[in-house]
Structure 1
Amino acid sequence: MAKNKKATRKFEKKNLKQTIEKRRKVQKFKKSVERRQFKKRLSRNEAQNDNNNINLSKNMKTDQKLVDSDDLISEEIVKLKGMKDLALSDSNEESLEEDDDEIFLASDDEERTELSDVINKEDDGDDQNYKQSKSYKQKLSVQKDALELKKQIEELEHKDPEFYNYLKTNDQELIEFDVSDFESNSEKDDSDEDDIVIEEDSNSENESLNEDINEKEEKAALKEFELDDDISNENIQDLTSEMIDKWASTITESKSLRSTHKLVLAFRAATHINQDEAMQSFAYKISSPSVFNNLVVVCLKHVPDAFDHHLNVKDSDAKNPKSICSRRKWKSIQTLVKSFLNSVLYILKQLTENDTLYFIIKEAEKLVPYYSCFPKLAGQYLKVLLQHWGTAEDKVRVVAFINIRKLALVAPPPFVDLCLKGIYTTFVRCCKETSIFTLPSIILMRNCAIEIYGLDFKSSYQSAFGYIRQLAIHLRNSMNMKSEETFNAVYNWQYIHCIELWSEVLATYCDEQRVATTGQNSLQELIYPLVQVCIGVLRLNPSAQYIPLQFHCIRALIRLAQKTGTYIPLAPYLFEILHSAEVRRNAKPSTLKPLDFTIHLKSPKNYLHTSVYQEGICEELTEILLEYYASYCLSIAFPELIIPAVFQIKRFIKDSKKFKINKQFQHLVQKFEENGKFIEHRRQHVDFGPGDTEKVKSFLRDVNMDSTPLGAYAKKIKNLKEQRRKLMESVAEKFFF
């Protein structure tokens, strides 16, 4: 005798007793069904015989039928209805018989030998085909019975027209029944039988069935609100301003939840006003633009207040997901809140007009805590806000960012990572092209990104570390591969704007004064890698054509050094530009307009070796040298720090024959020397040495930078440059707009 398989032994150990008990129950159930079926067939035959006798008696005794018509009519109605019920019951019995025939029945002695066949049968995928063939047979039998009943009623119309007319007037449902009614009932019986089979499966299947039922109940509870909106097109009401005003007054006076419900339904219809009506019907229709505007204003102003009232949310501390979801009435109005949030989200996706977007996003700020209660909706809302933050006008950008910032603060902690990632990626995507017109918007977006990176330093560090590392990887690939593709991956506006962004972030949150009051944070560890990336960009291609790009990187590092107090040796890179061939050679005259270094990374070829480009480089270099050394104008080591600069600049003046450029550098050297004498005069009165670092750092800490000769001169030059920039922008706006 062959040895049983492992699956067979496992089945014998765990499920054998249960299977035997199930089969015994099925046998008992089959016998009871057969007895019940036999009794019902007898009753059906008797009913048919009685019906025939009654019809014959009516034809022979017409006078007596008129006398006893009421009694006979009542009997006929009862029997015809009984025939209809019998047809339904027969279809149920036949389906049960077919189920019983297909169940595997075996004696107790044959159980063990055929268990392997049972297991293999359970593994096969023939159950679905079996159920389909079974349902097809049931439908055929039900249709046959229904057609027979239909035929008998039609014959009654010719045999006894008077009785047929009586049934038609008093019981029209019996006369004009539809065969599809039987089919639907049979399908329902099929589902009931399937439930019986499922209940007879193993305990694990019962548990999974209970879980599915619970999920269906929860979904049905969530759809209670949606059922109210499932209205036929014939019952759709035309929304008017009077209805909206009435609902608004009841909400403001008594915070009526019923009126809120109606407003939300109307708002949902308004947001889907452009959707095909054949796809979905709504409770109201809007035919006037004024009604639409009134509805949007009323909903956004009053519905959030109604939610706050019913959930007892009064202060800002209570407006967080945990407190809202723990309220007593939250489950009862959760579906209503979700529908309103979906409608607001849908209308934000469809609108493009800036004034309307500004109003809706501004008013939707009150809904941010409710969005935080639904993680999926919160992610979709963040995506829409980021889209408008990156493409809309500045006023829409501001209110969109306010909502993003509040969402990052209110939502659960992991959500702030999505906000940081979304802000950064949107900023990078929108700063690809830089011009005099797009630069203000890019600066606004950069300031917004700086603001949001100060909400959570732990998440900000992880995000900033990853993106600065990404910049370093691009730079390394460009240095190693030296191809045009890798080179263009570094020398572009997106890369430079990212460097400026991270320098601003670190300069803002690693400021010396801020760290002294709030303590150190993890972002300070990113100063060194960012400086290394910037210096690598400077050394990648130090040609004359990319001098504007070098100025952008140097300015970013100067900003970082001024705020954080970190010493970054940038003088060698500035002196390299000063002694470059582009600055020292005799330039050819040109009538080109001055090059704007703020919106250029690469100099156009027609500017190279021209006097216009040469003078622009020297002017920009003078400002950067002034800005760089002005950041150390209060340092106790300033007299020694300016020695290389004074030497290099005087050497350049001696070799150069350009009067205008030499005059700028002579004035700069003069201010350096004046500030050096100022520091030396103050340094004569100190009573500590260079080894006392704490006192060295505190030297002239209370003195204002503008009170020094170099600091005052730097402020004056900065103001003049700002005035010139505003004048250029105003002229450009008048010219183009």
Structure 2
Amino acid sequence: MPKGKRQRKFEAKHLQGTIKRRKHLQSVNRKRDLPASAADPKPAEEKNVEELDIDEFLSGDFLPEGGAEEMSEGDSSSSGSEAGDLNAAASESDEEEEKVAPAATAALEEADESSSDEEADDGTGLAASSAKLANAVASHKAELEALREKDPEFYKYLQEADSGLLNFGSDEEGQSDDDEAVAGLPTKGPLTLSLVQGWTAAALAGPSLGAMRHLAQAYRAACHYGDSDEAGEAGLQIASSALFNRIMLFMLKEADGVFRRLLGVDATSTLRPASLTKLPRWKKVEPLIKSYLGNTLHLLGHLTDGAMLAYILRRARASVVFLAPYEKIRRRSLKAALGLFGSADAAARVQAVLFVRGAALALGGSTLDACLKGVARAFAANAKFVNASSLPAIDFMGAAVVELYSIDPAASYQHAFEAIRALAVLLRGALSTKSKDAYREVYCWQTVNCIELWARVLAAAATRAAQGKGGAGANDLAALSYPVAQLALGVAGLLPTPSYFPLRLRCVRALCALSAASGAFVPVAPLLLEILAWPELARPAGRGADSGFDPALVLRAPKTLLRDAAFQEEIVAQTLELLTQHLAQWACHVSFPELAHLTTVSLRRFVKNCPVDRFRRSGKQLIDAIDRNVAFVGRARDAVEFSPKDITQVAAFLSTEAAAKSAPLQQYARVLAAKAAELRPVF
């Protein structure tokens, strides 16, 4: 007797659940059941990947040559040209890289994590389940055939209700997963160049999901080449240098574009992290993306050649949005990039900071916070020592921090506040305890470099806020200028001894830049005039034991250098230059005559007591420029009709001349700055 309609629906629903569960297992098997490893033995002697330079890595000469016999003559020439392309790609640079100077940064101060989970992320070690799943599929098909013979009416009902339930084992979306037919060769044997060329052609033409599965496994074998467990875990064996080069070149250059086409995303469109997992084909492509990211991270951790590291980071930057669903890979990728930011050569450092910046822009949220905190820590860790070779690197790191902290001023505020507060705690400890250890914590390169860094960050924030480009939170970040100015003033006057005049000049220079950007008055003139009142300047100088003084590399001058004529000349020249720069900022202000009065008196005393002709001559030139500027402002003040309480009109006083920098003192400041730039680098 035929079954009732309700009973048929119940049985169909029960069968649907069973089939979907088994179908899911089969899908997992198709994604992870990659070709088995070739039986060819390894060469007797192999180099680890981390020991290679870029030429050896890209050429693949460290690989065995046994696979060369399987290649045709045309294949060899093709692969040779690809090797040349990869060498050329590794040396090229973006225009974006030209905007940032080379420098070094430090690794994140986080606990190291084991890489065992990442190995599992590559989709390996599951070959043992393939046979079991295949048996389950065969058993299920046998059950369906038995159902067809036992109850043909119910089987016909299933065909009408949902034919997809009976087509278990076929591709749902019509895309072929017949991986062994992709290149026309079986995948269970040695990996050859012709097979890989077939996969790459299919991946670019289709794109083919099956071909990318094989290429992902081959890429893993290439990235893990030389590992101690490579022979046991890798499903493929790379037998020639041309094959190695072909796999690496294709995956690094083309994988991102192929993944986007597989996901159905336009190459020119911007992917959003929140919508990434909602794409229709995400579940099918996700294991390949995860494998690619994990293997690229493994490769970064095992290479030491700067050019190759720079190239890999440059290519990985295009896929940074795919890090969004993988918290652990994302965290370790940022850690690796920040480590290269602090320890690699110039090219790798540039690409590392661009990778971090790309992650901060694309992912935002907690990733942005990690990037901001990471670059600040990296700068502090690498700013402990300064010499001629590390100075450009530290300058680059500072520029990179300024750039990253300009992405989101609202998010940057909290990190900047915490860092500035930590510096203020050091200064407070030195002022309260007055011990040598406390002074040493303040008067060191790390503290001084960090003070200069935050002055640069806040000066950039104030400039953007004044231009209306900072966005939300720009004014809050710029408001931290006051505590930074107080901090720098306190450090500059902590130990008013001549030995620390170089440190004082660094702090004053940072304060002048911050004052010019924020428009706030910072009283730096007393610090500079105190240097000009140094009694040693009133006596003839001699030749000290340490000639060739470089103020950019010294915080504390030894006593043997204080009597050196070159040291005194450099100190006086920089003091007069900074004093001119400070006064020129207010050269068009209505209160300039009162502001410059005490400075002029101190300068006249310096000129009268100094026995060095060139010092007296420089002092007189500055006094003359100040007097001319006082007369310039005085004539303009005599013509006004507003009172000092009219704030708006006071702010507009000589605004046109201030914008054109046509005041006498401003013109003199430009000439003095040009001469200083010719004689020495500005630090």
TM-score by length of 2: 0.71
Call closer, same or farther: CA 1:543–1:369 in 2, change over 3 Å.
same
Please give the secondary structure, in 1, of the residue aligned with 2:232.
coil
Q: Distance in 2 between matches of 1:341 and 1:333?
A: 13
Corresponding residue number in structure 2 for 1:311 = 263
Provide Cα deviations, 1:103-136, integer angstroms capped at 9, x if missing partner.
xxxxxxxxxxxxxxxxxxxxxxxxxxxxxxxxxx
1:647 to 596, 601, 606: 601
Preserved CA contact (<8 Å) 2:607 2:619: yes
Please give the secondary structure, in 2, of the residue aligned with 1:414.
helix
1:416 to 362, 365, 368: 368
Q: Are 1:396 and 2:348 counterparts?
A: yes
Q: Distance in 1 between matches of 2:24 and 2:648?
A: 67
Task: Write the mapping of 1:80-479 to structure 2, written as runs, cut at 5 A.
Answer: 225-228=31-34, 231=37, 233=39, 237-277=189-229, 280-314=232-266, 318-479=270-431
Offset of residue 705 of structure 1: 4.5
1:635 to 582, 589, 593: 589
Q: Distance in 1 between matches of 2:326 and 2:25?
A: 16
Call closer, same or farther: CA 1:594–1:270 in 2, change over 3 Å.
same
Call closer, same or farther: CA 1:586–1:404 in 2, change over 3 Å.
same
Q: Distance in 2 between matches of 1:219 and 1:630?
A: 76
Provide Cα deviations, 1:356-380, integer angstroms capped at 9, x if missing partner.
1121111111110001221111111
1:563 to 495, 517, 531: 517
Preserved CA contact (<8 Å) 2:459 2:478: no
Please give the secondary structure, in 2, of the residue aligned with 1:327.
coil
Please give the secondary structure, in 1, of the residue aligned with 2:365.
coil
RMSD over equivalenced CA pairs, Å: 2.7
Offset of residue 278 of structure 1: 6.2
Preserved CA contact (<8 Å) 1:408 1:415: yes
Q: Distance in 2 between matches of 1:388 and 1:605?
A: 39
Corresponding residue number in structure 2 for 1:46 = none
Please give the secondary structure, in 2, of the residue aligned with 1:676.
helix
Q: Distance in 2 between matches of 1:490 and 1:330?
A: 53
Corresponding residue number in structure 1 for 2:533 = 579
Q: Distance in 1 between matches of 2:504 and 2:408?
A: 32
Q: Are 1:599 and 2:553 counterparts?
A: yes
1:661 to 575, 600, 615: 615
Corresponding residue number in structure 1 for 2:147 = none
Q: Are 1:690 and 2:644 counterparts?
A: yes
Amino acid at match of 1:713: Y
Task: Write the mapping of 1:473-488 to structure 2, written as runs, cut at 5 A.
Answer: 473-488=425-440
Corresponding residue number in structure 2 for 1:674 = 628
Offset of residue 393 of structure 1: 2.4
Preserved CA contact (<8 Å) 1:372 1:412: no
Is there any run of 5+ residues in structure 2 with no aligned partner, and where? 1-19, 41-186
Q: Are 1:540 and 2:494 counterparts?
A: yes
Corresponding residue number in structure 1 for 2:676 = 721
Call closer, same or farther: CA 1:217–1:375 in 2, change over 3 Å.
farther
Preserved CA contact (<8 Å) 2:492 2:507: yes
Offset of residue 562 of structure 1: 0.3
Q: Distance in 1 between matches of 2:315 and 2:447?
A: 36
Offset of residue 529 of structure 1: 1.3
Call closer, same or farther: CA 1:296–1:717 in 2, change over 3 Å.
farther
Preserved CA contact (<8 Å) 1:271 1:346: yes
Call closer, same or farther: CA 1:276–1:676 in 2, change over 3 Å.
same
Provide Cα deviations, 1:451-499, integer angstroms capped at 9, x if missing partner.
1101122221100110100001111122222333222211111111111
Q: Distance in 1 between matches of 2:354 and 2:213?
A: 28
Offset of residue 317 of structure 1: 5.8
Offset of residue 407 of structure 1: 0.6
1:509 to 447, 461, 467: 461
Provide Cα deviations, 1:146-200, integer angstroms capped at 9, x if missing partner.
xxxxxxxxxxxxxxxxxxxxxxxxxxxxxxxxxxxxxxxxxxxxxxxxxxxxxxx
Amino acid at match of 2:371: C
Percent of pairs with identical residues: 30
Q: Distance in 2 between matches of 1:700 and 1:562?
A: 17
Corresponding residue number in structure 2 for 1:43 = none
Provide Cα deviations, 1:687-712, integer angstroms capped at 9, x if missing partner.
32211111211223233354222222
Is there any run of 5+ residues in structure 1 with no aligned partner, and where? 1-213, 730-737
Please give the secondary structure, in 1, of the residue aligned with 2:407.
coil
Offset of residue 330 of structure 1: 0.8
Please give the secondary structure, in 1, of the residue aligned with 2:428.
helix
Amino acid at match of 1:509: A
Q: Distance in 2 between matches of 1:215 and 1:598?
A: 69
Q: Distance in 2 between matches of 1:332 and 1:244?
A: 21
Q: Distance in 1 between matches of 2:29 and 2:550?
A: 61
Instruction: State which structure, 1 or 2, has the greater radius of gyration over its C-alpha atoms.
Output: 1
Call closer, same or farther: CA 1:216–1:626 in 2, change over 3 Å.
farther
Please give the secondary structure, in 2, of the residue aligned with 1:707.
coil
Preserved CA contact (<8 Å) 1:232 1:281: no
Provide Cα deviations, 1:272-313, integer angstroms capped at 9, x if missing partner.
001014663312222444433332221111111111012122
Preserved CA contact (<8 Å) 1:237 1:285: no
1:712 to 655, 659, 667: 667
Structure ranking higher on relative contact order (CA contacts 8 Å, 6+ apart): 2
Count of residue pairs the alignment pairs up: 515
Preserved CA contact (<8 Å) 1:590 1:610: yes
Offset of residue 257 of structure 1: 1.4
Q: Are 1:552 and 2:358 counterparts?
A: no
Offset of residue 676 of structure 1: 2.1
Q: Distance in 2 between matches of 1:380 and 1:223?
A: 28
Please give the secondary structure, in 1, of the residue aligned with 2:361.
helix
Q: Distance in 2 between matches of 1:718 and 1:431?
A: 27
Q: Are 1:522 and 2:328 counterparts?
A: no
Preserved CA contact (<8 Å) 2:38 2:191: no
Preserved CA contact (<8 Å) 1:248 1:302: no
Offset of residue 625 of structure 1: 0.8
Preserved CA contact (<8 Å) 1:251 1:302: no
Call closer, same or farther: CA 1:617–1:237 in 2, change over 3 Å.
farther
Preserved CA contact (<8 Å) 1:638 1:679: yes
Please give the secondary structure, in 2, of the residue aligned with 1:510.
helix
Preserved CA contact (<8 Å) 1:223 1:335: no
Preserved CA contact (<8 Å) 1:577 1:583: no
Q: Distance in 1 between matches of 2:219 and 2:570?
A: 59
Call closer, same or farther: CA 1:279–1:517 in 2, change over 3 Å.
closer
Q: Distance in 1 between matches of 2:261 and 2:493?
A: 62
Amino acid at match of 1:436: A
Provide Cα deviations, 1:669-692, integer angstroms capped at 9, x if missing partner.
111122222222333333322111
